[in-house]
């Protein structure tokens, strides 16, 4: 990869004494000394915090340095992730240790990273990041409050707010914590003052009134918000009207992972998070196999089919494996769980003497797995689709084009297509992270049907050294879209 260079220019302008003119306009509007930002030389850059070091990611610490922070925040918020490989790449970018953009304003870029993690349901990763940065800045404290309340950890939040009131101006949180401390009268006084000043209104005010005293509220049904804050979620819970998590945004799915709301809710939550790349396949398998399903239809058919498939593998019976695979594969495809399924089972399918449709299913599972290149060597299948996918898995130019979605655009990318010149210019300016984000955006457009964008995205990923991501993303997009067409 090309080295990033910085060029400095110095211009000296000399003025002869005869050219110096009298200064008639004031040079300052105040006699006070100018404000100077300062920090200890040894102070850590909180905005550069990450969970993945450069040795792990292979990305330089200057990943974001030359980019505009507003452009990065816009790209991060708007990026579309149609396949798991792109989701995994985004997780790596967001969690990487790297200096923030040069124009970053008070941890704005770090806040946008935390927002993305929470939107993906990566609550544990977001909290781990805040463990590194600390929560002494009000913006970081706000994120920590939301994550902690989401997990039901109100005690440390209220303790810290009580010790350092400057960290938050949220009167609703102050009322909640004051009441939790037992001072209900003071909490009611704060609420009354806030309502008088118009700082707490509408549904939030009514919710807090009922929280403080059920008799203070009116008799109307209090409809829950479509996107409640974690504090509102906990207030409804305190009123004895807990909100169901299934229709709520993804972060609330973590609340059902404990199983307290039943096994079905636990499975559905695990699948939602797995689709977002925020739940490991091994943990998903553990939940699928907790017990035998006591019902049939829908999710229970999927659980039963998966358990039967794992049993067939354990018994090492190829005929039974073929039958079980033919049954479980469409179930996992319907739930958009084929990639986690392949992660778990593809290596165990290699070398099996399967029959019928199970052969093509096993082959596709191998190409969807992390060991796609190694497993492709063992296929021994001379079909057009297998040859094409094998070429992509090895990073070679494909020959014959199979009847797979996006195959033409993928073939062009692996025939040494060049990355777009505009992205090459940005790369030359040291804007590597931004170039990768724009490649992800192009991939999303390509997945929606723009073949040239898909070719450009894959060519860019390969050019910046993300060869494995380019191969996995191409394989996943073609196979998963082909499977969706069969649903």
Q: Is the dihedral of CA 24, 25, 31, 35 positive or negative?
A: negative
Tell me the three state secondary structure of residue 96.
strand
Q: Are residues 157 and 303 in the same domain?
A: no
What does the pLDDT profile of the chain (487 residues) look like in tens digits? 433 333 323 332 333 333 333 333 444 444 444 444 344 433 458 999 999 999 999 999 999 999 999 999 999 999 999 999 999 999 999 999 999 999 898 799 999 999 999 999 999 999 999 999 999 999 999 999 999 999 999 999 999 999 999 999 999 999 999 999 999 999 999 999 999 999 999 999 999 999 999 877 666 778 888 999 999 999 999 999 999 999 999 999 999 999 999 999 999 999 999 999 999 999 999 999 999 998 999 999 999 999 999 999 999 999 999 999 999 999 999 999 999 999 999 999 998 999 999 999 999 999 999 999 999 877 766 789 999 999 999 999 999 999 999 999 999 999 989 999 999 999 999 999 999 999 999 999 999 999 999 999 999 999 999 999 999 999 999 999 999 999 8
Long-range contacts at 450-455 (CB < 8 A, ≥ 24 apart):
451/406, 451/408, 451/409, 451/412, 452/409, 454/406, 454/409, 454/410, 454/413, 455/409, 455/410, 455/412, 455/413, 455/417
Is 388 part of a structural domain of the chain?
A: yes
Is 120 part of a structural domain of the chain?
A: yes
Q: Which residues pair with 96 in a beta bridge?
A: 52
Q: Are residues 358 and 232 in the same domain?
A: no
Burial class (CB in 10 A: 0-12, 13-18, 19+), 433: buried
Is 270 part of a structural domain of the chain?
A: no
Q: Are residues 232 and 310 in the same domain?
A: no
Residue position matching structure tokens 């004494």: 17
Q: Which of 444, 461, 426 is nearest to 79 (CA)?
A: 444
Q: Are residues 224 and 307 in the same domain?
A: no
**Rounded Cα distance, 312 and 318, in Å:** 8
Domain endpoint, select from 215, 238, 261: 238
Q: Are residues 217 and 307 in the same domain?
A: no
Question: How many CA atoms lie within 13 Å of 219's alpha carbon, on the beta-carbon side?
Answer: 0
Cα dihedral angle (202, 208, 213, 216), rounded to 10 degrees?
-10
Task: Show the domain range for 477.
Answer: 299-486
Q: Are residues 336 and 191 in the same domain?
A: no
Is 253 part of a structural domain of the chain?
A: no
- What local confidence, expressed as pLDDT, does residue 220 receive? 76
Domain endpoint, select from 213, 238, 263: 238
Q: Are residues 316 and 223 in the same domain?
A: no
Q: Are residues 327 and 212 in the same domain?
A: no
Is 218 part of a structural domain of the chain?
A: yes
Q: Are residues 217 and 306 in the same domain?
A: no
The CATH number that applies at residue 226 is 1.25.40
Is 272 part of a structural domain of the chain?
A: no
Q: Are residues 317 and 464 in the same domain?
A: yes
Q: Give the total number of structural domains in the chain.
A: 2
Is 51 part of a structural domain of the chain?
A: no
Burial class (CB in 10 A: 0-12, 13-18, 19+), 261: middle
**Rounded Cα distance, 112 and 440, in Å:** 17
Q: Are residues 234 and 305 in the same domain?
A: no
Q: Are residues 217 and 89 in the same domain?
A: yes
Instruction: Tell me how many helices (H) and strands (E) the chain has.
Output: 24, 0
- What local confidence, expressed as pLDDT, does residue 218 receive? 64
**Rounded Cα distance, 354 and 316, in Å:** 12
Domain endpoint, select from 238, 266, 285: 238
Give the pTM.
0.89
Is 449 part of a structural domain of the chain?
A: yes
């Amino acid at each position: 990869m090309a080295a990033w260079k910085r060029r400095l220019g110095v211009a000296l302008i000399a003025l002869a004494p005869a050219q110096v003119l009298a200064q008639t306009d004031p040079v300052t509007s105040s006699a006070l000394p100018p404000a100077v930002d300062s920090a200890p030389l040894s102070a850590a850059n909180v905005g550069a915090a990450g969970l993945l070091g450069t040795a792990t990611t292979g990305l330089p610490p200057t990943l974001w340095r030359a980019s505009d922070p507003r452009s990065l925040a816009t790209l991060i918020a708007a990026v579309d992730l149609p396949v798991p490989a792109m989701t995994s790449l985004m997780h790596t970018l967001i969690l990487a240790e790297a200096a923030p953009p040069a124009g970053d304003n008070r941890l704005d870029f770090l806040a946008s990273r935390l927002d993305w993690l929470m939107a993906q349901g990566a609550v544990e990763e977001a909290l781990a990041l805040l463990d590194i940065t600390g929560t002494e800045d009000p913006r970081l404290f706000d994120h920590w409050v939301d994550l902690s309340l989401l997990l039901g950890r109100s005690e440390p939040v209220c303790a810290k707010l009580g010790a350092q009131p400057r960290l938050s101006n949220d009167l609703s949180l102050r009322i909640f914590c004051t009441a939790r401390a037992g001072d209900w009268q003071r909490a009611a006084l704060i609420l009354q003052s806030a309502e008088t000043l118009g700082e707490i209104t509408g549904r939030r005010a009514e919710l807090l009134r009922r929280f403080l005293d059920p008799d203070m509220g009116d008799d109307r049904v209090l409809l829950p918000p479509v996107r409640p804050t974690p504090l509102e979620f906990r207030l409804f819970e305190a009123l004895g009207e807990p909100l169901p998590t299934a229709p709520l945004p993804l972060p609330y799915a973590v609340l059902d992972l404990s199983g307290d709301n039943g096994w079905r809710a636990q499975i559905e939550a695990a699948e939602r998070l797995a689709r977002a790349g925020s739940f490991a396949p091994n943990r998903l398998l553990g939940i699928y196999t907790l017990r035998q399903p006591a019902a049939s239809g829908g999710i229970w058919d999927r659980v039963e089919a998966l358990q039967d498939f794992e049993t067939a593998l354990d018994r090492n019976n190829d005929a039974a494996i073929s039958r079980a695979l033919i049954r479980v594969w469409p179930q996992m495809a319907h739930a958009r769980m084929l990639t986690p399924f392949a992660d778990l089972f593809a290596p165990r399918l290699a070398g099996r003497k399967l029959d019928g449709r199970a052969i093509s299913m096993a082959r596709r599972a191998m190409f969807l797995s992390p060991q796609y290149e190694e497993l492709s060597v063992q296929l021994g299948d001379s079909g057009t689709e297998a040859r094409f996918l094998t070429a992509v898995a090895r990073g070679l130019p494909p020959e014959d084009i199979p009847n797979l979605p996006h195959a033409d655009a993928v073939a062009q990318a692996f025939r040494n297509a060049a990355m777009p010149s505009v992205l090459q210019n940005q790369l030359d300016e040291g804007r590597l992270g931004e170039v990768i984000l724009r490649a992800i955006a192009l991939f999303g457009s390509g997945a929606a049907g723009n073949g040239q964008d898909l070719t450009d995205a894959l060519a860019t990923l390969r050019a910046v050294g993300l060869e494995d991501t380019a191969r996995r993303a191409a394989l996943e997009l073609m196979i998963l879209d082909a499977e969706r067409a069969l649903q």
